[in-house]
A and B are shown apart, each in its own frame.
Chain A
Amino acid sequence: MYPATEKFHFTREQILDEEYEIRAAMKDISCFSPLYDRYYVRLFRYIYRRVESEDNAADITSQVFLKAMLNLNKYQFRGVPFASWLYRIASNEIAGEFRSNIICREFNTTTENLNQFAEEIDENANEMIQNLQNAMSTLSMGEMELIELRYFEKRSGLAISEITGLTESNVKVKLHRIVQKLKDKIKNVRS
């Protein structure tokens, strides 16, 4: 599997360069193409991990870019990579499609990431992978999304806060509670 983890801590220069490109694109939308080329593959993978088929992923990716271009003037420079904004649009788009029953929402992870997550919850990880999966399937969509961003894709708190729109501390609190919930559920199954 392609590594989901991305470098989030861009250098200041990289962000400034990007800002230059975005400002140019705000003035003339045909200058958006460097951004489009740079982020297409990344965004496609982000969406592909969340939806079932490649075709759906391609459709949604196009929609996300179209929305980004239409709303580019609303983009605000906050010193974080442009990608976060795209991911946020993508998340909303996927949620919308899921709600209207167009797509089936998937959560993808690697065995390695899942094992690591399991270890975080319980020391006897190997025995409880199946239990964990059962417990996770009872979580709400929003809770699963946070698990996905944090443990399956290994994003930092800051990155998650930019994508979800929650504050960084809220993300941490929520994750802590979700993990606690899973622990309780697994304990119940055992007893």
Chain B
Amino acid sequence: MKKIKINIDKPDISDEKILAKKPSFQTVLQNFHAVPKPFYKASWFSGGVAGVTIATIALVGYYFIKHGNNSSTANSNNDSLSTKPFIAKPFKNIDVPYEVMSVSSNCSHQLITKTGTVLRIPDNAFVDSLGKPVTFPVELKYREFRNPVDFFESGIPMNYDSNGVHYTFESAGMIELLASKDGKNLSLAKDKTIGVDMKSPTEDSNYNIYYLDTTKRNWVYKGKDLITSLDEKQKTATQNNRNLKRDTASTINNEPNRSEEIRIEDLNSATSKVPVVPAKANKSKYIFKLDVDLSEWPELNVYKNVLFQVDETVKKFDAKLYTVKWTSAKLYQHATVGNYSLMLSKNDTSVFIPVIPVFDEKSYATAISVYNQNISKLVVEKQERDKQNNLKMLTALSSANALQQTIELVNTVLSSEMKALRTFELTSFGDWNCDRPVPPINRDFTITPRFLNNADGKSIKYENVYIVDKNKNALFTYNKSCPLLCNKKSNNILWIVTTDNKIGIVNSQTFLDAVSETTSPIFNLTLLNNSEGVNELKSLVTGKNEETDNLVTPTTTTEAANNTLTATAYPNPTKDVVNIKLQQENNVTYTLTDMSGKLILKGQFYDFQNKIDLSNCISGVYNLSLFTSDLKQSKNIKIVKE
């Protein structure tokens, strides 16, 4: 071990001396840009990988079609996890239905789905696999996954691997958006994003946005969403509606008005940009006069004498900054943060201030006239564009009206369940999920269940076990070989899918009764065929049909009362040996587990009178499970070791 050196009263170093050593930010920035990006983050790589993946999929698909019979047997032999498709639907005939929409023209769109989600699609958003823009119309397929049964049906994995730790996602809403043209999948153009306003039943801010990367076989963290309470959104929806009506009447008020921004944005075209609405300077606020080259900002460049007023609604302004003599200033625009930001710097410090462009009283009047001129010019331009696209516009408007009505309808239907609106941006097509990883707290109860068929009493062959905790919008999937973790106290619904595609369901009451007695419960299931089963699950999980919940109970009972094995254990509590007395049946299998579910002993009793030696075990409570060879009868006994 290296020796530790302790210094007392090391001479101090002055600020000036430190600043003399400080590299300028420009040098740091240069170093930053000089750092080579890892190859897998480079754009050519992701593009290349996508291409290679598509090619591989195509090849594999071709192979399957050609050698369909041979490969299917080969696949069943090699049934390991890695060869399974990442998105593995449990049933071929059941899936969450898509809503199909058609995008008719190449201008920006606002689509509203049946569920009330708003999709804002920019112009020129679609490209084919080679990156070329496509001709219209384009077909959009959209669907939402709202509850654990939807996750189950779709087969989308709700697991998240972060640094080797496995989490299960709790979802506040998941959507899938795909675009296609003549049956070929399209992708989103570079630098374009699709804005999504998704309704969500929760207002919690600790959900993140994840994108399902099917090549990396994991969810990719994509940042945070913007949450708006739904009451506010309804106001803006009516405002949108008002704007839409004005647009159809094509009357344009010359008075600059903030609420018209949404409509005015339509005037933007590739060649010209709508100027900023002029605002009067407020004399009580801090104002900067800048000598900035505005050519970068076409919306400001039409004006002269633009001043920048500090926007204190975004960030508090320190009055001291106003007295400093700054040597340079730079203007930034951040659409999501604020309108504009001003970066002031002098040799060793710089500050970042949100600003809004304003005009003093003299130039305000000229600015207004410049604005009106520009607007009228743009309106003329737009009207010409409109004439060209007249037919398209008409259909778009009528559908927009219809959709507006739909959203109002949906708002009234969903308003009881949906509390917030989550806004985020898609950078590619596929599955986007608003989630949080479920912390493992509370899910601390391990069970190893067995499933028997009610019809013939044999044990059921299955692959995966699914558990839904009714308090959480999450689906926990476990492989048959893994022990299940659950929160004993909450409302759990468990189901399995058998190898012959049937569903066996354990409802919450049965589950609770069973786990309160033992860690290795035996469930007798009546198997349902898959569509019946999924319907059953929907009513159980969403809790909309309470009657069915009660009806199911008798079909899935544990052996708690009827088929109890008669057995007694004594002395209990014990110091070393426990005697187990069986009455009617010999050849009984027993397992001894501790309270955490760890297996301590396992074996068989052949006599009526048996002994178990606990002298090697530490003191505590143990669970002895006994079951007959045909598994029809069982008993659990708690044994206390002193």
Interface residues of A, Cβ cutoff 8 Å to B = 1-2, 13, 16-17, 20-21, 23-24, 27-34, 36-38, 40-41, 44-45, 48-49, 54, 58, 62, 65-66, 69-70, 98, 104-111, 114, 133, 136-137, 139-141, 144
Contact = CB atoms under 8 A, between A and B. Distances in A.
Contacts of B23: 62
B316 A114 contact: no
The 5 closest A-B pairs by CB, nearest first: A33-B25, A58-B21, A37-B349, A108-B10, A108-B7
Most chain-A Cβ atoms within 10 A of its Cβ — which of B17, B19, B350?
B350
B12 interface: yes
A12 B345 CA distance: 25
B584 to A, nearest CB: 55
Interface string B1-28: 1111111111011010111011101001
A69 B27 CA distance: 13
Given A28-B332, A33-B345, A66 B28 contact: yes
B470 to A, nearest CB: 30
A155 B343 CA distance: 32
B354 A144 contact: no
Given A31-B343, A33-B345, A70-B35, A107 B6 contact: yes
B8 A110 contact: yes
12 contacts: A1-B9, A2-B12, A2-B13, A30-B29, A45-B13, A54-B13, A66-B28, A70-B35, A104-B5, A105-B2, A141-B2, A141-B4
Contacts of A70: 32, 35
Contact of B25 (A23, A37, A41, A54): A37
Interface residues of B, number: 40
B5 A24 contact: no
Given A37-B348, A136-B4, A66 B9 contact: no
A114 B9 CA distance: 10
A24 B8 contact: no
B9 A49 contact: no
Contacts of A111: 8-9
Contacts of B2: 98, 105, 141
Given A24-B332, A24-B352, A41-B15, A13 B4 contact: no
Contacts of B21: 44, 54, 58
Contact of B28 (A13, A62, A98): A62
B7 A107 contact: yes
A69 B28 contact: yes
Contacts of A16: 315
A117 to B, nearest CB: 11
Nearest to A98: B2
B18 A27 contact: no
Nearest to A143: B4
Contacts of B5: 104-107, 137
B103 to A, nearest CB: 29
Given A24-B352, A58-B22, A66-B28, 9 more contacts: A21-B352, A24-B332, A27-B337, A36-B28, A37-B25, A40-B19, A41-B18, A107-B7, A111-B9
Contact of A54 (B9, B17, B349): B17
A72 to B, nearest CB: 10
A2 B35 CA distance: 34
A45 B12 CA distance: 9
B18 A44 contact: yes
